[in-house]
Homo-oligomer: A and B are copies of this chain.
Amino acid sequence: MKSFSELMQEKDFNSITTAEIARNGSVTEGLIYKYFKDKKDLLYQVLNEHFTAFQARVETRIAMEESSISKLEVIIFTSLESYAENRLLSKMLMLEVRNSLAFFNSCAYGMVRKYAATILEIIQQGIASGELKPETDPYLLRKVILGAIEHACLGEIIFARELDIDHTSSGISEIVFNGARA
């Protein structure tokens, strides 16, 4: 996993060969398959470690917020921050991970679900407390938030443009919570 993570800093998933991973890790190719089902399984386990750390960071931060909306704002900000901090990993996540159905059975996807569950709970609390409109579909609001976060980073990640986290996260929050209509 260490060897693979190192190589991920240099090149994308399909360009990394199992021979390279083995060589870089000073083991033989065969050994990889003693510990990992296949090359993708190796990737998913690396992602799982990353997601676990991210989830911990998110939970620490939202514990410090009072209102549901400010919790959601913190989630938006922290997500963007994480994308910006781990550009190569994010690129892999957005471009290469989802293209296999195996991902959706992996432990890494389990962490994604946990993250999504956290967001849903906050939204439901917000509706219950009257902060959010009672007619809001919580699942749909979650989708809009997650979609906005991801799409906001997509272009900047792919084309290696810099990402203004503050402007982007406050802009998303403004649109999602207050609406774009004048």
Contact = CB atoms under 8 A, between A and B. Distances in A.
Interface in A164-182: 167-168, 171-172, 175-182
B148 A104 contact: no
Given A133-B182, A158-B104, A180-B132, A175 B99 contact: no
B99 A95 contact: yes
Interface of A: 14, 69, 94-96, 98-99, 101, 104, 130-134, 136-137, 140-141, 143-144, 146-152, 154-155, 158-159, 167-168, 171-172, 175-182
A168 B181 contact: no
Given A140-B168, A179-B179, 8 more contacts: A101-B158, A104-B159, A130-B182, A137-B171, A143-B155, A146-B147, A147-B149, A147-B151
Contacts of A144: 144, 147-148, 151-152, 172, 175-176
A141 B175 contact: yes
A91 to B, nearest CB: 10
12 contacts: A69-B181, A130-B182, A131-B182, A137-B171, A140-B152, A140-B171, A144-B172, A144-B176, A147-B154, A176-B176, A178-B181, A179-B179
Nearest to A144: B148
A73 to B, nearest CB: 11
Nearest to A72: B180
Given A148-B143, A172-B144, A182-B130, A99 B96 contact: yes
A179 B176 contact: yes
Contacts of A69: 181
B101 A132 contact: no
A13 to B, nearest CB: 8
A147 B100 CA distance: 21
